[in-house]
Amino acid sequence: MESLYLLIPISLVFILIAIRIFFWAVNSGQYDDLDSEAERILFDEADDLSHPEEIEESQEQQKEQQ
């Protein structure tokens, strides 16, 4: 049971680190948009799967427009 005297302070240190990280994350704006960030990863993956020639074509079109 004496191990508690060591383990509890260690857990306290971890909690402190977790809270520091959480504060840093919130204050640097990572939680400002709670709606779209969660799904963003899905779209980017789908983007890679879509036809590459289509994208090239559209980029050419864009250039022509400009």
10 lies in the site for other proteins, by CB under 8 A = no
Helix locations, the chain, DSSP H: 4-27, 37-49, 52-65
The residues in 25-44 that bind other proteins, with binding defined as CB under 8 A, are 26-27, 31-36, 38-40, 42-44
Say which residue the tokens 């993956």 belong to.
45
Q: How many whole angstroms separate alpha carbon 60 and alpha carbon 65?
A: 9
55 lies in the site for other proteins, by CB under 8 A = yes
E strand intervals along the chain? none
Which residues sit at the interface with other proteins, rule CB under 8 A? 1, 4-5, 8, 11-12, 15, 18-19, 22-23, 26-27, 31-36, 38-40, 42-44, 46-47, 50-51, 54-55, 57-59, 61-63, 66
